[in-house]
Amino acid sequence: MNTENQIIDYKSIRKIRTGDKGFKDLAVSCIAFANAQGGTLYIGIEDKSLIPLAGQTITEDEINDTVSRLHSLCFNVSLSSSGLIKHENGGVYFKISVAPSLKSIATTSDGKIYIRIADKCEPVRNEDLQRLSIEKGAYQWELLATKFSLSDMLAENIRKFTEDIRNADRVKQHVKQMSDIEILEHYNMIDGETVTNLGVLWLGNAKQRSRISFPITVQYIVYNHLEQKVRKIEWHDNALNPKELLLEIEKEATELGYSFEFPDGLFRKQIRHYHPKVLRELLLNSFAHKSFTISSDIMICAYPDRLEISNPGGLPLGVTKDNILHQRHRRNPYFIAIMSDLGLMEGEGSGYDLIYELNGMEGKMPPVVESSFNETKVTLYSDIQNVNILPLLDYTLNNYNLSQKGFIAFGAIATATKMQSTKLSAYLQLSDDERLRSYVEPLLKDGIINKKGTKKGTTYFINPKLIANSNANIKTSLKTIEPYALKALIIEDLKYHPQSLISEIAERLPDVERNELQKMLYSMVGNEIKTTGGRTYRKYELK
């Protein structure tokens, strides 16, 4: 079985055998599914093993009672149950299918509202109610039936789509063996003889796409260093399906293919302003997470130093700029499934982990995400923050087999030279030290990075041996200075500048981090140095 996700939740048999508390928990899942894209509850499946207990028994009466109790605990929710399903270990379980609530907001019997985000059921706050009501239309847009029938679609478009599916590496063999009609049904492009909005988007002609509210339209605008428009291309004619539109944008947006050039021994090394995989992922994110219920263009604005891509619709409910690296929530899951199966995008979620990885390994900033009620804008900067670390990044990439997490963390530490655990956690959008360990432990084990300090005072820095082996011309910095050397540096400074404020010492030692300097000074008071003055204007000098 699949792990829990946006449309699947597993519940132990104990949920229906522990009274009201268990049924209320099941009701929360039903409400959350109904307010999102629907889903399936598997009752009698253990979370950890994803199978029922061996020999587990359930009666038909228990199934009927469960459905009846849930109907009484959920408002505006349509649900149905399967019969008993037997597992190979002899245990039985059953499923409850929850349909998305298309025109109303689902609530518990006591008026509480939840929504399914990734594999969790999150409560909806009062201030999010208006947003939820608008989002619900966006969630269901793909599956809404149009006035077009399958016979209205061009046979050539159907043939091209089904051929692409059969030729795609990610598509499972049993799907490739389906008939054309079965493939269209599998990807929710048709409902009986009626074509859905999703089907028209992929299979329709320009006139048919223009009749749905609202197809994908794009503007590509190039600005000079004075931020004056110098070139503009529009795709407003609806002549292309999403795959064709993507390829056309990549072809026409020549400015996005520009490169930096750096010396690399006897040769020259080129690094594109924007990695092609990062570009594609961001373009497809703007397609996939566009709100199709808002009439507005996807905007691609290319400036000399940055790229801005914006799409109609704010970030999905529950996703913010501070959790986008890990949060998985799909506004248009069936559209994403097609793009993923065709090998055009990551498909697992937002793809931001890939973007962080590729940007980190080229010494670039992660994307900057801004979201309002009606728009999401992503800004990608082209500059390499420190060109001197490029040989170090290349050497590590070629000599170590790092995971994606490892590359993301290493790129961040290498770019900053030295990084406190609190800052690294913020960069990686992590909430606890346990999760940070999965990023840094492999790097420490392989000797790629070192650390000093403990708990929140832990600092990570690149192993000097790695820098030496890579022949990277990284400028010497006091950022990674050892404590004994820092102490000697402070003594030397106060020898020539007695009666100094901490701000004055920090100004003379700009490469030393302020908190490191402060910590060392405090530890030296009473031993090597003494103080005069009050707390605000305390001055330091040698004893």
Radius of gyration of the chain (CA): 29
Long-range contacts of 461-465 (CB under 8 A, 24+ apart): 461/413, 461/417, 461/418, 461/419, 462/392, 462/413, 462/414, 462/417
CA dist 418 and 186 (Å) reads 50
For the chain, 543 residues long, give each residue's pLDDT as a single digit of tens.
677 888 899 999 999 998 899 999 999 999 999 988 789 999 999 877 889 999 999 999 999 999 999 999 999 999 999 889 999 999 999 999 998 887 788 999 888 999 887 788 888 877 677 777 766 655 678 888 999 999 999 999 999 999 999 999 999 999 999 999 999 999 999 999 999 999 999 999 999 999 998 899 999 999 999 999 999 999 999 999 999 999 999 999 999 999 888 776 656 778 899 999 999 999 999 998 888 878 899 999 999 999 999 999 888 777 788 888 887 666 788 898 899 999 888 655 557 888 999 999 899 999 999 988 789 999 999 999 888 888 889 889 889 999 999 999 999 999 888 888 989 999 999 877 668 999 999 999 999 999 988 888 788 998 888 888 887 766 656 666 677 788 888 888 898 899 999 988 888 888 787 888 888 888 888 888 988 888 778 899 998
Structure-token match 């990570």, residue found: 460
CA dist 359 and 367 (Å) reads 9
β partners of residue 376: 311, 371
The confidence score (pLDDT) of residue 138 equals 59
Helix (H) or strand (E) holding 514: helix 514-524
- The stretches of 9-113 forming alpha helices (DSSP H) are 20-35, 60-73
Phi then psi for 97, rounded to 5 degrees?
-95, 130
3-class SS of residue 93: strand
3-class SS of residue 45: coil
Relative to beta strand 218-223, strand 298-302 is parallel
Lateral strand order in the sheet of 375-381: 229-235, 218-223, 298-302, 306-312, 375-381, 368-371
Asked if residue 156 lies in contact with residue 205, where contact means CB atoms within 8 angstroms, the answer is: no
CA dist 379 and 301 (Å) reads 9
The confidence score (pLDDT) of residue 15 equals 93
CA dist 141 and 201 (Å) reads 11
The confidence score (pLDDT) of residue 198 equals 95
CA dist 59 and 465 (Å) reads 66
3-class SS of residue 257: helix
The confidence score (pLDDT) of residue 519 equals 84
Relative to beta strand 267-272, strand 259-264 is antiparallel
| Tens-place pLDDT, residues 311-363 | 998 887 777 888 888 876 667 888 988 999 998 886 555 578 889 999 998 99
Asked if residue 105 lies in contact with residue 135, where contact means CB atoms within 8 angstroms, the answer is: no
β partners of residue 81: 96
Residue type, 77: V
Please give the C-alpha separations between residue 431 and each of 45, 97, 453, in angstroms, as whole numbers.
Answer: 29, 33, 20
Structure tokens at 341: 């199966």
Relative to beta strand 39-43, strand 8-11 is parallel
Structure tokens at 309: 């891509």
3-class SS of residue 436: helix
Sign of the torsion formed by the C-alpha atoms of 71, 75, 80 and 83? negative
Please give the C-alpha separations between residue 78 and each of 20, 307, 333, in angstroms, as whole numbers.
Answer: 20, 44, 20
| DSSP strands (E only) in 470-528 | 500-501
Question: Could you give all domains of the chain from N- to C-terminal order, each with its CATH number?
Answer: 8-124 (3.30.950.30), 125-345 (3.30.565.60), 387-479 (1.10.10.10), 481-542 (1.10.10.10)
CA dist 197 and 189 (Å) reads 8
